[in-house]
Chain A
Amino acid sequence: MKAFKDAGHLFRLASVFLVGGVLFLALRGFLVPRSFGQYGHYRGNAIKETAALPISYAGHQVCESCHADILEVKSKGVHKRVACEACHGPLAKHADDPASIQPAKLDTAVLCVRCHEANLAKPKSFPQVVSAEHSGGAPCDTCHQPHSPAIVAVAGASQ
């Protein structure tokens, strides 16, 4: 078989590819995590691992079960849809053990502008102020009550 003999180098090339392919498959079997594809195109165990992470946010229902007085105020104000921890930060530890873990005091001069600083990209209907002109750097809670911030009485300016 002269043809076979003269094509010998092609078989060698093919076997290089073959070895490469087998090596790749072996490597793949070794590297792809066992639980990959269990539920979808991701590592199935990732769900369990994420679920096992410590919880940092308790959720506003939990806060409200103890701080009913705040809820009372807040649910009547314009911030009724803003969750407690959007301002107070993650407080699951405090909710578990309120006696020993005290939430940090908030500085309204930096907190409120996070949402209310005027910005072209925000919808026009969202209440915004240019804080430098509006309060001149004074903490917002000198005039606004954080849990119910609308200032209604002032000269009937807003309803």
Chain B
Amino acid sequence: MQIPVEGFMYPNEVELQWSVLIVLYPFLTGLVAGAFILASLERVFMVKAVKPTYRLALLTALAFLIVAPLPLQLHLGHPERSFEMYLTPHRSSAMAMFGFVYLWYLLAVLVVEIWLDYRRDIVVMSQGTTGWKRLVYRVLTLGSTNISEHALHIDERVGWLVTVIGIPSAFLLHGYVGFIFGSVKANPWWSSPLMPVVFLFSAMVSGIAIVMLLYMLMCRVRREPIDMDCVDTVAKYLFYTFIIDFSLEMLDLIHRIYEADESFRSLDFMVHTRLFLSQVVIQILLGTVLPILLIGLTQVVKLAATQRKRIYVAAGCLTMIGIFAMRWNVVIGGQLFSKSFLGYTTYKMGFATREGLLTAVVLTVLPFVILGVLVKLLPPWPEKKSALSSVAAAAYGAD
């Protein structure tokens, strides 16, 4: 397969090494960090209005975090070797140390927080269910059925602490992804100290957007009214973070244009040709400016609830597309030009290959499947009062 090349490429640049899976990876981790930060709004910053999304946001973060390393594993091949990163850690490698950031975030933050928050429900359900489900819940209780008021109070306090630790951890998790790109000094498209910050804010944008969309979808599926107060607040936060994110990206752009270093002409040409559709049209116009305007509209004009809902859904979907395009333009864009600044190559995506489109689609759908299972196992909405409260009372007494 001949890859179309324009101008002069070094031989090792003709074929792109970082494929669509490496695009997917920051996209997925971004959703994790963003969803978690939304959850922490309620917990630490006491934004009561977003409470209905709190648990959903946590489960979303967990589902995406479980899938996040898979694209890397597939990209590298030999998944069994990734474990060596933990056995014999190499402290001078940013990528290797990331394994610990990931593990910390997964085990010490997310799982603990979810467990603490759900503990009461788990105990109640371990008594109200039968069969294998009962077994799962019993294991999850870790053998302790103490849900006395005082115990729950302790959980609340510890959970708060975990969230407080979790916020910098979430920042670290995603800032790190940006750091890995930003510190590639040989690549002028990536090398920028703004990279971690831009990644972080775009992560928050995408995480907030996906939780908002999922919340509305879940309400739809369960035929329950959407808590408009909640969605309005989430949308407001989406609006603010989006504006910060957009300003940062523009700052980066203006800085590049003004600095106009030796790579500028080449990169400028690339943005106007090969990346025009994905960067200017999809990322900036459709994926950033349009959703900001849409949500901005709801902030200035008084609109009916149905109209707001429609706008939120449209803006949310556009945001997801825009953030994905941003990852795409960073990862793929950074490999389309030659280090000699004299030529451009093309990215050819396989279909049913190890790093092809099909794999990427499966990896994108997988977190939703996991989320489905998690939601079944640990329902994020308040339980039907009548059904379980009697069991809860029984459990209370039994203790």
Contact = CB atoms under 8 A, between A and B. Distances in A.
B151 A13 contact: no
B8 A9 contact: no
B369 to A, nearest CB: 26
A6 B115 contact: no
Nearest to A5: B146
B88 interface: yes
Contact of A16 (B86, B88, B142, B150): B142
B88 A8 contact: no
Contacts of B73: none
A9 B148 CA distance: 12
Interface in B1-30: 8-11
A8 B158 contact: no
- In this complex, the interface size class of chain B, counting residues with CB under 8 Å from chain A, is 20 to 34
A119 B115 CA distance: 61
A41 B112 contact: no
Contacts of B115: 13
Nearest to A15: B142
Contacts of A68: none
A5 to B, nearest CB: 7
A42 to B, nearest CB: 9
Interface string B77-109: 000000000111010000000000000000100
A28 B86 CA distance: 9
Contacts of A105: none
B154 A6 contact: yes
Interface in A18-47: 24, 28, 31-32, 36-37, 41
Interface of A: 2-3, 5-10, 12-13, 16-17, 24, 28, 31-32, 36-37, 41, 119-121
Interface of B: 8-11, 86-88, 90, 107, 112, 115, 119, 141-144, 146, 148, 150-151, 154, 158
23 contacts: A2-B150, A3-B150, A3-B154, A6-B148, A6-B150, A7-B154, A8-B144, A8-B151, A9-B141, A9-B142, A9-B144, A9-B146, A9-B151, A12-B144, A13-B112, A13-B115, A16-B142, A28-B86, A32-B88, A36-B88, A37-B88, A41-B90, A119-B11
